[in-house]
Every structure is written in C-alpha cells, then in structure tokens.
Structure 1
C-alpha cells in the first residue's frame, strides 16, 4: 500500500519543477544564499502541490483511466488506493505545499493556489478544448518559472520568459502528438482516448510543434546575444550553448515519433541522449556565466 500511495504522488514528475530554478540560473544573485534557499523551498512547495494535483486528477479521471490500456494500472483506476485515501493524501500534500510556499513568500503561495485552480479547471473540462488545453499545460510550467523569479524577488528577462513560454507550448503539443500516436497504435479503438484528440490531426500537431520549436530556437538565440544578457553575465559566449538546445529539441521530436513523449518526465529521465544533452547544456551554461 505505501508503494501505491507513492505511485499516486508521481514523484518522477517532480523533474518538471526544475523550471522553478530557471530564474536563479540566469540571474546574478551573487552569494545571496537566503534567496537561493527561497527558490529551493518554492520548488519543494511545487513538488508537493503538483502531487496534490495528480491525486485529485486521478480521482476525477478514474473511470476514463479504467478504459485506457496504460492508465488503468494507476492506483485509483486499478482499485489499489481508495478515493478516501487519495483525498487525504491530496489534502496533506496541498497543505504542506502551501506551508512551504509561505516560507518562501506570499507571492509563491498565490502562485501555488493559481496552479491548483488552473489544474482543477483543466481536469473539470478545459482539457477538452483544443489549443486551450495545451496553453493551460504551458501555463502550469510558466507558473513554476514565476515562482522562481517574481515569487522570490528575481526580475526575469522577458526574452527568457518568451523562450520558456514557447518551450512549454512545444512540450504541450508534443505530448498531444505522442498521445495521438499511442491511441492509433494501441488497438483499443479509441477506448480511454482523450476527447480533445479527435480535434487534432498528425499534420496539425506536427505544424504546431515545428512553429513552437522554431520560436524556442529564435528566442533563445536572441536572448543569448542580447546586450542585457551579455552585460549581466559578463560574457558573449552563451550563444555557444545553442547546439545543445538544438539537439535536445530534435531528439525530443525524434522520440515523439518513436512513440515517446506522452509523459515528458519519463521521456527525459528514460533517454540517455536527453539526460546527457541537458547535463552538458547545464554544465556549459554554468561554466560560462559563473
């Protein structure tokens, strides 16, 4: 039972909360360890709040999950965890997440509440509206970036926010593309398929992925050569990290078409190429700007 409760929390999804650290990475905070601690606490708060959301989402989607060839193995859909246990776990995680958020700042608490409300609205029906569904997914990632910037009094670069938005939109459309491929290949005749997938086509999603990926490349390139960026980090060499960004995007698209990408967290954690390129990008970036 403890293992099933842990599965309900989906701790592997916590990797998404790495977006909270983006502002810290690309800011000049010097030796302000209190600020760094606030970002860490905000990230921990997001980990718990996201687990709260996953538990509530599984409660709302349990019937649909039972018809899905993979999601039927989730704790609630399979019956290994009761609804009462799921609600209790969600309450504990949500309360603890807000407590951690309060330790960071009142703004982080507001962002966590906005994240909770956004996801409840998504689960309640907004996930069935094409295009809007992906922008809500992207908004969840952007709230993480906001928590690690404005939430702890770090002023983010607008180029960086634009790059983050385009990247998260790309991940959202890639997720839908992977889900569409999975529904076509699982032989279930659409059983358990998201209703919104009927409004998408492979060509449409490929186009949207291409547009958003191109936007990521352009915005990241412009950010790296921006006079403000060069002045802040005292280097004009950040553009040399662009090949890692290109490889990561192209590898992700490759994985989506190889029937990966339905779960962005597992796509990252389960692919050696993605892990290496992210590690190299992070290492080179830190070396250039620190």
Structure 2
C-alpha cells in the first residue's frame, strides 16, 4: 500500500492507494510541523502503508545520498526551518521505504509521464513560486533541486518585492503575498484587464526565457492558484517570453499551458512511492 503526502504553503494533502484503488484522499491545514505530521498519521491510522512518497515545498534536501535527506532548509514558512520532515513522516507512518522530492519536481514528473515529453518544466505560482524540471523521467535532486522561482524578474518592474531573501525575485514579485501587497487588498477583486497582470506576465516571461536558455524543454506547465484563477496569463507569458528570446531561442507556439493532470504534485508523490519501493 502506497501513501502519498504533499506539503504546501497552507495545506497538506494525503492519499492512500492499494494498487490503483484509492482508499483515502484528504486535505488538512498545515500548522506547526510536529502537529502536521501527527495529523497525517492520524488520518492514515488503521491502514498499513509500506512505502511513502513525499512531495514537499522547499527548500528541502532531496539528495538520495545525503544524511539529511528529507530535512527542510531555510524557508519563509514560520517554524519549519531545519525540520526533518521526511524522517518524521516515515517514522509516524511506520514505513521503512520512502522517497522525497520537491512538489514542483513531482508535478513535472507526473505531467511528463502523462504527456510523453522528454523534457518539461513545471512552474507553480501560489503562496510562492517554484520551478520543477524533468528530463527523461528524472528530476534534478543531487546535489540540490532547482530554485528558479528566486531568479530576478523584469528589471523594469517598479515593485520592490516581498521575498524575505531576495526582495524582487520572481517569487517576491508575483506570488500570492506579492500580489496582495501590490494590489493593496485582495487580488481576486482585480479585473482581468488590470495593468498588474501585465507585470505578472512580464516577470514570469523572464523566468520562462531563463528556463529555455538553461534547460530547453518541450513544454512549460503553468500551475498554481494564481494562473488557475487567471487562465489568460499563459498566453501573455508565452508572448512576452517570445519577445525576450527574439531570433536567438525559439519559443514554439503552445509552449506554455495549464496542467493536464489533476493534482499533478500528488500524482508525482505516488510516482516517488513507486520509486522508493524499487530501491
């Protein structure tokens, strides 16, 4: 029996499968780390999973050979710095075999498995901004995972940014907290033609352009709460990225698109569980 756990900025998702039959799927609030682990274990109580796949927000040590595998690092999420999330979940759930990756790497892996792409990037824009990358079914985990959400945004963007580490990185410019700060209220109240969305597209276009220069991919999935609420952003981001690339790097039509898999990050956690079982 496989248990998949997805930890995000505000919620934790847990699911259980016996083969392809799903036995449980629940969403829990993400509180303090110890209480969150206990809540997951409580939901799984009565089942006997033998393997765990963990897809987590980062930064987190995902190197399979590292002695601190599954430990969170310096994170903006209060109270979670250095917490041994992977080992604590494995202990609480009573599983010996477990694998861990970032939530965006897991999502990229699930999307590529679904779409058949050799190389794919998954960009999520929500509480934070994360980028996952998969090539030939494998994600970058050693010596570390990508943190491309902290690349610089459009240098012309006048907003100073809210990232506690970098200020005006892409995350500091277009994440949910950044949009609240920029709009002075609830960004959901903004109209689709508000000029703020063009800045969001410009900042994300710089990120997509950088991805295409560094690790060219066949598709960029744009997921997370912000683009899900504003589906027009994908086309704007692609057009802006194409303008940045000019004639030097081809940005094909349809490069940027929405997720095709329901909860790809959680599906990716199940792929991690399969990987752990094979070790």
Superposed pair shares fold, TM > 0.5: no
Q: Which has the larger radius of gyration?
A: 1
What TM-score results when the alignment is normalised by the length of structure 1? 0.29
Higher strand share: 2
TM-score, normalization by structure 2: 0.30
